[in-house]
Amino acid sequence: MSKPHTIVVHGVSSADEVPRLHELADRAEIRVAPDGGALAAQLPGADVLLGWKFSAKDLRAAWPQAQQLRWIHWCGAGVDAALFPELAQSNVALTNVRGIFDRAMAEYTLGLVLSFAKELPRTLRSQQQHLWDYRLVDMMQGRTALVVGVGSIGKSIGKLLTANDMHVVGVGRSRRDGGEHFSEIHAIDKLNELLPLADYVVLITPLTDATRGLFGQQQFALMRNTALFINLGRGALVDEAALIVALKAQTIAGAALDVFEQEPLQPHSPLWDMANVIVSPHMSGDYIGYHSAMADLFIDNFARYANSHTLMNLVDKQLGFVASE
């Protein structure tokens, strides 16, 4: 007896890699596609695609085989790896895991701000050298953080930084009330005017055609030479070569980078060895149990899909993110 739905899970070798997925076995045929070739082979006849690996860029090449596809659920807060013109122009619904990583990324940001303010990297280097490196360090209280990207993750970051007595300014698509998370929110066209006012710049906006290369030589030149730059969004939001120049010239004081133009970050990159840089391997949103949280969201959304109800986290494919952001 045929089942009413067919789900292709991309980025896994076994359905067992996705928690709770077996619960759908009575309602859907489940296929797995660990790579692009397998995806093209498994898509014919499928109406649902679960993109388990958020960075996979195989879908466009396999798109001609997706004739029956009606819904893609992408397991990333950003959908830049999945979104391309043919999908954007189609009637296929696209959803993401908005909300899953908010708190984790906010805590990570808070940790990075604290690390910079209290000079923890320098303290650890001094400890390794058995050096008694006494000095005065900074306070977070009263410092200004500019959060570029005011979606659900940006709001969570704003909330935690505000709770620690920082002055937090948001930058979004348009000017609006800051609510409980920001003192104010300005439109993106005011970014260059705001950069000289910030002690910390946190970049978390989605990667779209409008934001690609948002930070370059001009933006770093506008920042204070005491300012710290944090990028948790996407590497392509930043001209990495211009950032390296700014760091070497001490145009800005330092950077914490969780994302890069090429990942993994290449071993020869000078970013690895800079004393004023914190490098992490695209992990700011990941935490113990997040796979289960992603699976729970997909299963809840599948129930909506199967019953023809409105899907959660529906991405506006023209904007490239959930429209409420």
- Please give the positions annotated as active site: 234, 263, 282
Cβ atoms within 10 Å, residue 24 = 21
Query: What stretch of H or E contains 164?
Result: none
Buried b (16+ CB within 10 A) or exposed e, 143-152: bbbbbbbbbb
Nearest to 73 by CA among 45, 50, 103: 50
Strands 48-51 and 5-10: parallel
Q: Does residue 251 contact residue 221 with C-beta atoms inside 8 Å?
A: yes
Q: Which DSSP state fits 2?
A: -
Measured CA to CA in angstroms, residue 8 lies from 120, 179, 220, 309, 311 at distances of: 45, 40, 43, 21, 18
Cα distances (Å, whole numbers) of residue 26 to 2, 21, 246, 322: 10, 11, 57, 31
